[in-house]
Structure 1
Amino acid sequence: MQYVNIELDKPRRIRFDTNALCDAEEALGVGIGAMMNQQMGFRAIRALLWAGLRWEDRGLTLERTGRLMQQFLENGGGFDALAEKVTSALLASGLFKTQGDEGNGEAEAAT
């Protein structure tokens, strides 16, 4: 399973599997398909980042994830860069293939 590296309070890796996506959907009260079809704001990025980081840090909370995002932004990272990391991890998961997708199933993770 592919992941995307991100520098927050420490080097972390965002990775999505079905459980992570279910966690994000539950936190937001909306399906991932609906999220992907609209511009995602802070709330959606926070929930997705939280869900994507929990595989390595099960004690991570939404509130703590918000503080990590704030720290990222205060240290010069932009919201677009943060959203791009989350989106790259979603695509690297391989969970969003369509019937016409071809290839060997390997995704390239962004760093």
Structure 2
Amino acid sequence: MSASDVRVKKVAVELDKPRHLCYDMNAFADLEEKFGSVQKAFDALKSEKLSAVRYILWAGLTHEDDKLTERGVGKLFTLGDIPALVRPMMDAITSSLPKADEAKNE
């Protein structure tokens, strides 16, 4: 994935206050560094593994608050919130990736 592939889109999510998930180049770099690839991060999110949900949520929120920590993000949601958070996180990630036909053309 190159910088020109990222199409940043913010997705609203309600946590301690209204926030916006945004998977920009910094977030994708963090995900790649932690999971090895964005696809592996996406797979971990689908599994709803707690540490993956917390990390991926953190990566999507840091554009609004770069002082936010993973542990701080962990205080913003409960186990019961995970199903409601996974869908917006997946939407924010997939909407920021290049469309399939764009990727084929390159």
TM class by smaller structure: 0.7 to 0.9
Amino acid aligned to 2:30: D
- Superposition pairs of residues 1-111 of structure 1, within 5 angstroms: 1-26=8-33, 28-37=34-43, 39-70=47-78, 73=79, 78-93=81-96, 95-98=97-100, 100=101
Aligned partners of 2:35, 2:41: CA distance in 1, in Å? 10
Give unpaired runs (5+ residues) of structure 1: 102-111
How many residue pairs end up in the alignment? 94
Q: What percentage of aligned pairs have identical amino acids?
A: 37
CA distance in 1, matches of 2:32, 2:58: 12
**Aligned-pair Cα RMSD in Å:** 2.1
The C-alpha deviation readout for 1:27-77, integer Å capped at 9, x for no partner, is x3432112324524111111111011000101000000111123xx5xxx5
TM-score (norm 1): 0.72
In 2, the alpha carbon distance for the partners of 1:18 and 1:83 equals: 20
Runs of 4 or more, structure 1, over 2 Å off, are: 35-40
Contact kept, 8 Å, 2:9 with 2:22, in 1: the verdict is yes
TM-score (norm. length: structure 2) = 0.75
Cα distance between partner residues in 2 of 1:37 and 1:10: 27
Tell me how far apart the structure 1 counterparts of residues 31 and 22 of structure 2 sit (CA, whole Å).
Answer: 12
How far apart, CA to CA, are the structure 2 residues paired with 1:37 and 1:7?
A: 23
State how far apart, in whole Å, the 1-side matches of 2:72 and 2:10 are: 20
Instruction: For residue 2 of structure 1, report the CA deviation from its aligned partner.
Output: 1.4
Q: 5+ unaligned residues in a row in structure 2: which ranges? A: 1-7
More helix by share: 2
2:3 is matched with none
